[in-house]
Amino acid sequence: MATGQSASTGAEDESAAATKAAAEREPGVKWRMGSAFPSTLAILGTSGKRFEEKISLVSNGDIQVRFFEPGALVPALELFDAVSAGSVEAGWSTAGYWAGKIPAAQFFTTVPFGPKLPEFLAWLYYGGGLELWRDLYKPYNVYPIPCFMNAAEGSGWFRKPIETLDDLKGLKMRFFGLGARVMEKLGVSTQLLAGGDIYPALELGTIDATEFSMPVIDEELGFQEIAKNYYFPGWHQPDSIGELIINMDRWNALTEHQKALVETTCGDNVYHEVAESAASQFGPLKRMQEKGVTLRRWPDSFLEAFLNAWKEVSQEEAAKDPDFKKVLDSLTEFRKNYAIWRNLSEVPSQF
């Protein structure tokens, strides 16, 4: 009996020692990850902190990715260049921010009147979308991984109701991605601002209106305090993808096992954030209404105008940029084929 107890105690001591050694050993990978979103910002930022924690956990401490707040390493809109140069190992952002450098990258955040989440993921993983995305970034020495994904967004915050299309003309509005070009077609003057810069610009009157994200995120940023008309649906961003971007040299230095851990942790983050973003919207909408916000839906005539403008924009951009055309053609063809299944399988909305 005494011998068994001694053996058991010895095994426990060895296990404890091994655990302590694992905790104390230097991680194999130590990356700094600059973020475009504050760590406290629902979904967009909190998902980055979740990735930071999860990758350490699943790798048993071998991969340490430290989350840095926007501006702590580089300004949010300069993350891509920093990761490309290797001055920052990784970034937490979304591809549409790099539109000035890579116009086709915007497809890998969202597409106006684009696919819903299942169809978007189907194109990415089984329709060649992810390969196109990585081909776009390869010349810049950057490796992208889809690492979070969000539900549909709101369409915008306005100080006054928009009664006619003429009411849009001359407005100064913060707008993101390909949807900004659509709004410009309708006479809106758009500019891209990082999330933390929007409220001051709205408050000071530098911009008249804005869109940013979904209700739970927009509420945190306080837009409801200034603009009382919140429009839906988010035709410009029916869902969105977020990316983990990694310096290619750093990525290539990983073992296959380490790469699999990073990819798998991102996949886990995607499904977690899809669920969280879908479940988090109705509470903020109720609170907004209690504070005097009017929730409005665009009339069909407006949606038709937005769609027609998008068709013009997509063809104009495709004519200017071969990569844009290549991605547009890929997505369009996939959606055409996917419609065979979608039209048969989906129950009409009136039911």
- The amino acid present at 308, given as its one-letter code, is N
- The amino acid present at 92, given as its one-letter code, is W
Domain check: are 183 and 304 in the same one? Answer: yes
**What's the total number of domains in the chain?**
2
Is a pLDDT exceeding 60 seen at residue 248?
A: yes
- The amino acid present at 247, given as its one-letter code, is N
Q: How far is 249 from 259, CA to CA, in rounded Å?
A: 13
What integer pLDDT is reported at residue 196 of this predicted model? 85
Contact criterion met (CB below 8 Å) for 292 and 306: no
Average pLDDT for residues 311-317, to the nearest whole number? 97
Q: Dump pLDDT digits (tens) for 144-171.
A: 999 999 989 999 999 999 999 999 999 9
Q: How far is 312 from 258, CA to CA, in rounded Å?
A: 44
Domain carrying residue 161: 156-237+286-344
Q: Which of 279, 299, 333 is the last residue of a domain?
A: 279
Kindly give, in sequence order, each residue whose CB lies less than 8 Å from that of residue 213, ignoring residues fewer than 6 positions away. Answer: 43, 44, 150, 153, 154, 195
Domain check: are 40 and 127 in the same one? Answer: yes
Kindly give, in sequence order, each residue whose CB lies less than 8 Å from that of residue 171, ignoring residues fewer than 6 positions away. Answer: 158, 187, 188, 189, 208, 209
Q: How far is 144 from 51, CA to CA, in rounded Å?
A: 15
Coil, helix or strand for 257? Answer: helix
Average pLDDT for residues 125-151, to the nearest whole number? 97
DSSP sequence for 192-245: ---HHHHHHHHHHTS-SEE--S-HHHHHHHTGGGT--EEEE--TT-SSEEEEEE
- The confidence band for 94, taking pLDDT boundaries of 50, 70 and 90, is very high
Give yes or no for a cis peptide into 233 (omega within 30° of 0).
Answer: yes
Q: What is the CATH number of the domain that holds 308?
A: 3.40.190.10
Q: How far is 35 from 49, CA to CA, in rounded Å?
A: 10
Flag whether 16 is in a domain: no
Domain check: are 317 and 262 in the same one? Answer: no
Flag whether 8 is in a domain: no
Q: What are phi and psi of 174, to 5 degrees?
A: -75, 125
Average pLDDT for residues 118-127, to the nearest whole number? 96
Domain check: are 122 and 42 in the same one? Answer: yes
Domain check: are 146 and 199 in the same one? Answer: no
DSSP sequence for 121-169: HHHHHHSSHHHHHHHHHGGGTEEEEEEEEE-PPP-EEESS---SGGGGT
- The confidence band for 273, taking pLDDT boundaries of 50, 70 and 90, is very high
Residue from 311, 50, 114, 76 nearest 193 by CA = 76
Flag whether 94 is in a domain: yes
What integer pLDDT is reported at residue 348 of this predicted model? 83
Long-range CB pairs of 168-172, under 8 A, 24+ apart, other chains included: 171/208, 171/209, 172/206, 172/207, 172/208, 172/209
Query: Hey, which of 15-24, 171-180, 324-333, 340-349 has the most confident mean pLDDT?
Result: 324-333
Q: What is the CATH number of the domain that holds 100?
A: 3.40.190.170
What integer pLDDT is reported at residue 261 of this predicted model? 98
Contact criterion met (CB below 8 Å) for 270 and 243: no
